[in-house]
């Protein structure tokens, strides 16, 4: 391995996860420059780097960084296309279903009036999501005409001109009290774990869900392979729901910047080391 591999790391702030990635990159003889959201940077300087790794928490900033980096001719992880798909849940649902990846039944809503009659079409219950939200923010379970009316009244009062459209309506999947997060590095699923919540139908860890490692079985490998076929290689958090009615997984969504500061301490797969190695190995 050359001693002059130069990595540009974009972050919102340097958290424990990124500090560990930097440490492993340096162990691999790579030099690392860190650009936070408060830092200035010059596109002309990109020619001095072999690869860029984008770990911005802001989805819009991550996409903007990737666009400019690729335009300057430098490889970026994840790619602009992958970030664009992962940060638009409507676009993601369309592309995954088009490639026959199992996803919940869905509808992309461009006008609030399009919600009329959808409860009946979705069996009396559905989930509504902003297309570009993360960490479960804005994700709402609609179970009755009354709850839909409340959601619409609240939304229309702050979004008279429909600037927060489109939104994604998604079939509610009977999934027990957990979902399964699969971390993908490169082309490989490297770890899988249940996120279990007894108190919240949302199973995000920051909302209190706890971690139970699970084996990466054939079904998980197949879904990971299908997702990579659509998105290309990269670093992803693949969220699966096990439909209790069918016994089959469906893909809830794919995240382009999976966090692992707490989960890896439970499942003991060192995601930071794997990301560092993949980054260096991706240098052409």
Q: Is the dihedral of CA 101, 63, 141, 210 positive or negative?
A: positive
Burial grade of 164 (CB within 10 A; 0-12, 13-18, 19 or more): middle
The confidence band for 217, taking pLDDT boundaries of 50, 70 and 90, is very high
Higher pLDDT, 157 or 194: 194
Beta strand segments in 105-263, E: 106-109, 126-130, 140-142, 167-171, 178-186, 188-196, 210-214, 234-242, 249-255
Fold observed for domain 178-255: D-amino Acid Aminotransferase; Chain A, domain 1 (3.30.470)
Per-domain residue ranges of the chain: 1-87+270-284, 105-171, 178-255
pLDDT at 136: 72
pLDDT at 250 over 70: yes
Q: What residues are paired with 254 via a beta bridge?
A: 238
Q: Any idea what DSSP says for residue 72?
A: T
pLDDT digits (tens, 9 = 90+) for 15-58: 999 999 999 999 999 999 999 988 888 888 899 999 999 999 99
Sheet arrangement for strand 234-242 = 210-214, 188-196, 178-186, 234-242, 249-255
**Biggest alpha carbon–alpha carbon distance for the chain:** 63
Residues contacting 79, CB < 8 A, separation 6+: 66, 70, 232, 234
Read off the pLDDT of each residue in 185-200 and give the average, rounded to a whole number.
Answer: 88
Query: How does residue 2 score in pLDDT terms, banded at 50, 70 and 90?
Result: very low
- CATH class of residue range 105-171: alpha beta
Q: For the beta carbon of residue 275, count every other beta carbon within 10 angstroms.
A: 26
Alpha-carbon distance of 79 to 87, in angstroms, equals 12
User: For 51-65, 149-163, 185-199, 260-274, which range has the lowest pLDDT when averaged over its residues?
Assistant: 149-163
pLDDT at residue 207 is higher than 60: no
Check residue 175 and give its pLDDT: 86
The residue with tokens 């591999």 is 5
DSSP H/E element including 27:
helix 16-27
Instruction: State pTM to two decimals.
Output: 0.91
In 3-state terms, what secondary structure has residue 26? Answer: helix
Query: In sequence order, what are the residues at sequence separation of 6 or more whose Cβ sits closer than 8 angstroms to the Cβ of residue 177?
Result: 196, 197, 198, 203
Mind listing the pLDDT tens digit for each residue in 116-151?
999 999 999 999 999 987 767 888 999 999 999 999
pLDDT score recorded for residue 166: 93
* Identical topology for domains 105-171 and 178-255: no
Strand partners, 255: 237
Q: Tell me if residue 55 falls in helix, strand or coil.
A: strand
The CATH number that domain 1-87+270-284 falls under is 3.40.50.20
């Amino acid at each position: 391995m050359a001693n002059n591999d130069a990595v540009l790391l974009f972050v919102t702030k340097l958290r424990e996860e990124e500090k560990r990635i930097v440490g492993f990159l340096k162990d691999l003889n790579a030099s690392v420059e860190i650009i936070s959201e408060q830092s200035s940077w010059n596109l002309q300087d990109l020619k001095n780097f072999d690869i860029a790794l984008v770990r911005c928490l802001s989805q819009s900033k991550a996409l903007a960084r990737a666009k400019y980096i690729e335009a300057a001719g430098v490889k970026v992880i994840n790619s602009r296309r992958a970030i664009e798909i992962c940060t638009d849940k409507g676009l993601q649902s369309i592309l995954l279903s088009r490639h026959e990846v199992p996803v919940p039944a869905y509808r992309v809503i461009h006008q609030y009036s399009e919600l009329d009659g959808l409860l009946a079409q979705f069996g009396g219950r559905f989930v509504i999501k902003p297309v570009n939200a993360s960490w479960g923010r804005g994700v709402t379970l609609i179970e009755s005409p009354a709850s839909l009316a409340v959601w619409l009244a609240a939304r229309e009062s702050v979004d008279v001109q429909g600037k927060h459209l489109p939104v994604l309506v998604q079939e509610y999947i009977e999934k027990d009290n957990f979902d399964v997060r699969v971390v993908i590095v490169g082309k490989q699923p490297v770890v899988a774990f249940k996120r279990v919540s007894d108190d919240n139908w949302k199973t995000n860890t920051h909302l209190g869900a706890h971690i139970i490692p699970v084996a990466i079985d054939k079904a998980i490998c197949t879904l990971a392979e299908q997702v990579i076929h659509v998105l290309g290689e990269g670093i992803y958090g693949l969220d699966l729901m096990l439909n209790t009615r069918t016994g089959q997984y469906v893909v809830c969504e794919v995240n382009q910047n999976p966090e692992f500061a707490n989960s890896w301490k439970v499942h003991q797969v060192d995601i930071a080391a794997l990301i560092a190695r993949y980054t260096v190995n991706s240098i052409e």
